[in-house]
Amino acid sequence: AQSVTQLDSQVPVFEEAPVELRCNYSSSVSVYLFWYVQYPNQGLQLLLKYLSGSTLVKGINGFEAEFNKSQTSFHLRKPSVHISDTAEYFCAVSVWSNYQLIWGAGTKLIIKP
């Protein structure tokens, strides 16, 4: 069965510092990978996705992620965070047998001034 692990439930970081949010998945087949962001009291919106091709994927708001097949990881990075990046970030993996996504538990990004 497929699963997604987000290794950190919270990541505190100073404003303008770089950040990496970690995501590992388990799957015996090829997958599509997603990162979503949820700002306080809002629904989720897509940050970026990996379907195929280049393993470095760029998304909105200056975020990028790298697909590493050998390590089954899809870590999210930003070189310099802003207070507006305060949110919860979710990693998700496609399920080939149906149209579902398998979700990680989420990582709260806390920006310290």
For 58-82, give the secondary structure using H, E and C: ECHHHCEEEEECCCCEEEEEECCCC
x/- site string to other proteins, residues 3 to 32, per CB under 8 A? ------x----------------------x
Q: Which of 45, 55, 71, 84 binds other proteins (CB under 8 A)?
A: 45
Of 48, 43, 27, 23, the closest CA to residue 100 belongs to 27
Backbone angles phi, psi at 84, to 5 degrees: -70, -10
Single out the segment in contact with other proteins by CB under 8 A; choices: 17-25, 56-64, 72-80, 102-110.
Answer: 102-110
Give contact residues for other proteins (rule: CB under 8 A): 9, 32, 34, 36, 41-46, 49, 90, 94, 98-101, 103-106
